[in-house]
Structure 1
Amino acid sequence: MLLIATVLTAVVIAIHVYIVLIETVLFRTRGRKVFGIKEDRVDALAPLMSNQGCYNGFLVAALAVGLLHRNPAIGRAFVVFGLVCVVVAGAWGAATVSRRFLVVQSVPATLALVGWLTA
């Protein structure tokens, strides 16, 4: 179960690296299309999206530290914390923006979290 949890956590990391990229460096091109932003709103929203991308980067960092930490107990704490944050962020996004957040963020993070908590 620990291997599956680790793989699922790596998937969550990959998803969030992509999210960081489309919210920051790729927002004016790919990000605009992914989020369905009209071109005339891009300049106004770019700073906000970049800030949001920064927060998603922190989630990536917490999960990566957790997977790479030498001390298994500390690593597990980082991973569990990071996954709980992703689940909550996905649920909040689903409630306030689009239900798609549940599928993209919360479901993979929940599966990984269940793996870690049952391993």
Structure 2
Amino acid sequence: MRFLASLAVIIVSVLHFGFLALEMFFWDQPLGRDVFAMTPEQSAQTAVLAANQGLYNGFLGAGLLWGLIARKKDVIIFFLSCAIIAGVFGALTAKPTILLIQAAPAAIALGLAIFARDRRSETS
């Protein structure tokens, strides 16, 4: 279960680094406009906001990796919870599919992380 939990956390982290790239570097490009169904004018007007949003997604990805590397379950739970909240908010305010793309993978990873056994508790 620990392996599956770690794998799920890595997947969610990679997703957030992907969101960072999409929002910071490809927002005002054909890929970003296609993903978010925007005109060139819309993407140009919102590029700075999207870059800021992308940076926050990068922080989520980095926080998840930090939790894994440091073996800090509470850090992992915190950042997965943040990803879920961000995904639900994004689904309600921007695009409903964000619930499936961002919140659902984080929720699965959170469930796995909560129920994964900790080696330290097994030896005590």
Q: Which has the larger radius of gyration?
A: 2
Superposed structure 1 runs of 4+ greater than 4 Å apart: none
Q: CA deviation at 1:77?
A: 1.5
Aligned residues: 115
Residues of 2 paired with 1:82 and 1:13: CA distance? 10
Residue identity over aligned pairs, in percent, reads 33
Question: What code does the residue aligned with 1:76 have?
Answer: K
Structure 1 unaligned blocks of 5 or more:
none
CA distances 1:73-110 after superposition (whole Å, capped 9, x unpaired): xx212111110000101111111112201100111100
| Residue 97 of structure 2, aligned match among 96, 100, 108 | 100
Matching residue of 1:50: 51
Structure 2 unaligned blocks of 5 or more:
117-124
CA distances 1:33-58 after superposition (whole Å, capped 9, x unpaired): 21111111222100000000011111
Matching residue of 1:16: 16
Q: TM-score, normalised by structure 1?
A: 0.92
Q: TM-score, normalised by structure 2?
A: 0.88
| Residue 80 of structure 1, aligned match among 58, 77, 80 | 77
Residues of 1 paired with 2:33 and 2:22: CA distance? 8
